[in-house]
Amino acid sequence: MCIGIPMQVLRTEPGHAWVAGRGEVKRVDTALIDAPHEGEWLLVFLDAARERIAADRAAEVNGVLDLLQGALAGASTQPFDEVGFALPSRMDPTALAALAGRATPESFPE
């Protein structure tokens, strides 16, 4: 399994960007996206930027990664109501349909 890490662009160079996130700074390949700009957020998989993401989406992904890290460490996790966003299991059918890119809940396969 590959997990995308949200990282913020510090500086760019042809075909690469220096990014920071989750306690590390590294150089990543940007061949799969248009040239990034300083301050943008990227979702990074295996040292390659795969997509641009909004700052609020980066915060959501980091929130989930924090929950996962805590669970793996055996720590009691904070209540889901306090993570700062709605987990899919807590969404109403219309919000879940929008998250999945479907117009209505009725468009989900049976």
The yes-or-no verdict on residue 7 having pLDDT over 80 is: yes
Of 62, 46, 49, 45, give the one whose Cα is nearest residue 10: 49
pLDDT bracket for residue 81 (50, 70, 90) = low
- 1 CB neighbour count, 10 Å cutoff: 2
Q: What is the maximum alpha-carbon separation in the chain?
A: 48
Domain with CATH 2.30.30.140 in the chain: 5-54
Measured between alpha carbons, how far is 40 from 25 in angstroms, rounded to an integer?
15
Thinking of the domain 5-54, which architecture would CATH place it in?
A: Roll (2.30)
pLDDT digits (tens, 9 = 90+) for 10-57: 999 999 999 999 999 999 999 999 999 999 999 999 999 999 999 999
Comparing 2-6, 29-33, 65-69, the range with the smallest average pLDDT is 65-69
